[in-house]
Amino acid sequence: MPGLDPYQNIRAGERGAWASIAAYLLLSGVKLAAGYWFSSSALTADGYNNLSDIAASVAVLIGLRISRKPPDRDHPYGHFRAETIAALIASFMMSMVGLQVLFDAGRSIFTGDRAAPDPLSAWVALGAALVMLGVHFYNRRLAARIRSHALMAAAKDNLSDALVSLGAAAGIFGSQFGMPWLDPAAAVVVGLLILRTAWGIFYRSSHALTDGFDAKELETLRNTIERTKGVRRIKDIKARVHGSNVLIDVIIQVDPELSLIESHRISDEIERRMERRHNIANVHVHVEPDEDARSPQTNGS
């Protein structure tokens, strides 16, 4: 039966990566220039944050491109996990930038007198936050539709960037009221948020690469299979993330009197239900007879 086209999903995911790259290129240039011109540590740190996001988005884009390669002799399951590896590399890039932002902000706090930055820099940060919110909603909808973990991570990074810009604006506005230390203090918060986002991406990527899978989602998949007509019980079920795809291996038990053709129809129905309800087309079903069903008859004979 025809399944989902994972390669079409990857091509759609590339559009989200390009949207992020375009936004980050524009915003990083504006923020770094405005941060230098208006003497704002928070806005400059936010600009460096967006520079790290460019590198991360490019890494995700490269991973998506590699994922499009068809299966070959060395990769019979395809190259889909290149997307997850790219997200892992992006987390390392972001963590290095976050540490650098923290170092620069801390040094700024403990150096001489500071003048409050120009309040115009706060409006630049607010405008950037609105742009990133728009990119976030676009990527989040796209990631949910194509089940791309890397693109969903990028969408969460977009939201984090919008919050970072709002925090930078708050620090700049606060520095206008005789508290110039609030500007570099906001830069410290920016650095911590970068590290927090990097850790989240690292955790999700490493969890997927070690075949980790969410227990609640697995239970949802189990319930769908158990409600399939003809399935008496599930003996075992496993799932793992393969790039933007989910692979499922399930052992079901059916009426031992069923023919091979009837058992095969149950397997086909499970595949159809998983694709229709959960957007999953990679399901391997192993059918076994329900031997317990014979026990009462055997004992009574």
Query: Could you identify the residue written with the tokens 């079409």?
Result: 8
With 0-12 / 13-18 / 19 or more C-beta atoms within 10 angstroms meaning exposed / middle / buried, residue 39 is middle
pLDDT average, residue stretch 110-136? 79
pLDDT, tens digit, for every residue of 209-226? 888 898 999 999 999 999
Least confident of 6-15, 57-66, 218-227: 6-15
pLDDT of residue 252: 94
Which of the pair, 260 or 14, is modelled with greater confidence?
A: 260
Amino acid, res. 247? L
Instruction: Give, to the nearest 10 degrees, the angle between helix 149-175 and helix 6-37.
Output: 20
Q: What is the pTM of this model?
A: 0.68
pLDDT of residue 229: 92
Give whichever of 51-60, 179-188, 191-200, 224-233 has the largest mean pLDDT: 224-233
Q: Say whether pLDDT at 244 is over 60.
A: yes
Q: pLDDT band for 8, please (50, 70, 90 cuts).
A: low
Structural domains of the chain, with CATH: 6-209 (1.20.1510.10), 215-300 (3.30.70.1350)
Q: pLDDT band for 293, please (50, 70, 90 cuts).
A: low
pLDDT average, residue stretch 52-73? 79
Q: Say whether pLDDT at 240 is over 60.
A: yes
pLDDT of residue 63: 79
